[in-house]
Amino acid sequence: MTWILGPARSRRRRFLLVPIVLVAAIALPLAGIAQAVHDLAFELDGNQAVDTPGRFDWTSFFNAAGQPSPALPDASRPGFTNSGFSKDFSRNADGSYSTADHTTFATGSKDTLNITPGWQCSFANNVNDKIDILNAYAVAYTNPANGHEILYFGLERFSNSGDANVGFWFLQDNVNCVSPGGSTAFTGSHVDGDLLIVSSFTNGGVVSTIDVYRWNGGAGGSLDTTPVAHGVDCKSTLGGDAACATVNDPNNGTLDPPWDTANKNGGSTNEVSEFFEGGLDLTAKGLGGKCFNTFIGDTRSSQSLTATLFDFARGVLGECGVAVTTTPSQSTRQLGSTDPITDLADIAGTTGSGAAGPTPTGTMTFFLCGPGATSCLAGSGTQVGSPVTLGACSPDVAGHACATSSDARSLITAIGTWCFRAVYDPGSDPNYQGKGGSFDGPNECFTVTDTSAIVTNQRWLPNDTATVTTAGGTAVSGTVTFSLFENGDCSGTAKATFTDSSAPFETNNTTVYTSSSTISWKAHFEPNNGIAASDSTCEVSTLTINNNHP
């Protein structure tokens, strides 16, 4: 939607003290016993301004730019959950009203047809005055007293000439159409439970009837031609009504809302019978529990379900929402662990009242940030595997869907805090269009701790000793030479030699062996007192070293 703001103007206030006091005197006593749709917190009194302190009207929800203010839900507007505003006109460069409109129904579009195919929009250079919609808006409300879900809706038209017929579609899919020129097909489809509200009113400011119809069976279904709710003018009903509508009659007079509007006679006001509003108690008629994301207000040739459709204004109410809870499979793990680490995303659909909504479909894509992360913000992190299609949770819970990421252990390369992020894509799910996005938080984080390892390596330090004796008892005097061979037969060149000239004769080898080896020793005694020399036999040692024995 393109917002085009008109010239600034001051707001004129009109006071109709006697009618207001009279309405208040009648309505307030009934509110305690009837809970009629027009007796609640929202004023259905034929204008956009708040007349009774403590109640709300359209100016309670939209600012001068036609933007939601405050964003709902808000504690200052108890029970009101969603709001939407659609501006359906523009102004020329000089500030004058433009009769061009890119959102009018093309010939052949009917309420009884499915949206795709069936509905088309077209561009019109000159929309007929009495069927030209200026603004349309809607608010969703859940009565805190009894939990009833209620829709309020309103629109403004350019001229009050003749009687008028209007309609409001409340749709669950993201239905839309903007024509660049010729006929253009709408996008989106019907969902079981879509609602059509039609009403007729006179140029004197009286609503004769309001009827509500239900679409049954989804995209391949049909519009039930028997009304599921019926009402009359909110100002004439005495109470207990589930649906009613009204317009600004002569008592309301010309209206001057804070946002930009227009009328055929000039100025930025709504003259008598140019403003229409209504309300529908969904719960009272068994129509609650749906998520109405889109509304389309239209003008039409009659209240007939096969009426010719003229202008329309499409807005977003956005009643469906999602709440995502994500939980990693481990809160702590050791670096190098071979255990898998995954993230579980549980996505719950909610309605505007906070009740469970339709089970979401689509995909969830997971990302991992770290180390040293405290969250995993949108646009950061490494994707974990491919997008995962949502499926049933375990245990299965109404309105919930779940997805589990791929194993992320290969991405964990260091100690510290790591955090997952889940990104929801609703795909073609009609209930949650525009509700996708990233979900991350402290509950998605886990800690990777360091580990220790001990490795043993045997060290073999071979040495040898010799004992020299004489046959006749002559004193031993001389030098022993030890030869170390790295084989098992004392052959070849010695690896090392050691000498010792005093008993006890021994080596002082400092070379260690750390792997399995075979060595041999041979000793030679060379006396220095004239006795005969001697040689030892070949000593062999074999050592097997296994540092990895289980």
- Are 435 and 465 within 8 A, CB to CB? no
Annotated domain spans of the chain:
33-316, 321-449, 465-543
Mean pLDDT of 428-456: 84
321-449 in CATH: which number?
2.60.40.10
Both ends of the chain: CA-CA distance in Å? 72
pLDDT of amino acid 25: 30
Answer yes or no: is pLDDT of 280 > 70: yes
Mean pLDDT of 311-339: 92
Mean pLDDT of 353-359: 73
pLDDT of amino acid 296: 97
pLDDT of amino acid 35: 62
Answer yes or no: is pLDDT of 2 > 50: no
513: its two tokens: 């062996």
Mean pLDDT of 115-127: 90
For residue 412, list its beta bridge partners: none
Question: pLDDT of 10-47, one tens digit each?
Answer: 333 333 333 333 233 333 333 333 468 888 999 999 99
pLDDT of amino acid 355: 67
Answer yes or no: is pLDDT of 277 > 50: yes
Mean pLDDT of 316-336: 90
- Are 174 and 430 within 8 A, CB to CB? yes
b/e sequence 448-476, b meaning 16+ C-beta within 10 Å: beeeeeeeeeeeeebebebebeeeeeeeb
pLDDT of amino acid 202: 74
pLDDT of amino acid 100: 86
pLDDT of amino acid 161: 85
pLDDT of amino acid 456: 86
pLDDT of amino acid 27: 33
Dihedral of alpha carbons 255, 258, 259, 263, sign = positive
pLDDT of amino acid 352: 62
Answer yes or no: is pLDDT of 341 > 90: yes
Answer yes or no: is pLDDT of 293 > 90: no
Cα diameter, the chain: 151
Answer yes or no: is pLDDT of 220 > 60: yes
Answer yes or no: is pLDDT of 488 > 60: yes
- Are 390 and 423 within 8 A, CB to CB? no
pLDDT of amino acid 69: 94
Helix (H, G, I), strand (E, B) or coil at 164: strand
pLDDT of amino acid 163: 82
Mean pLDDT of 376-383: 93
Answer yes or no: is pLDDT of 184 > 60: yes
Residues 6 or more apart in contact with residue 546 via CB below 8 angstroms: none
The more confident residue out of 174 and 31 is: 174
pTM of the model: 0.66
pLDDT-based confidence at residue 432 (cuts at 50, 70, 90): confident
pLDDT of amino acid 18: 32
Answer yes or no: is pLDDT of 6 > 70: no
Mean pLDDT of 344-349: 93
71: its two tokens: 């964003």
Nearest C-alpha neighbor of 54 from the set 45, 41, 70: 41
pLDDT-based confidence at residue 435 (cuts at 50, 70, 90): confident
383: its two tokens: 């994707």
- Are 168 and 295 within 8 A, CB to CB? yes
141: its two tokens: 């409300």
pLDDT of amino acid 182: 86
Taking all residues of the chain, what is their mean pLDDT, rounded to a whole number? 88
Element of type H or E holding 251 = none
pLDDT of amino acid 289: 81
pLDDT of amino acid 72: 87
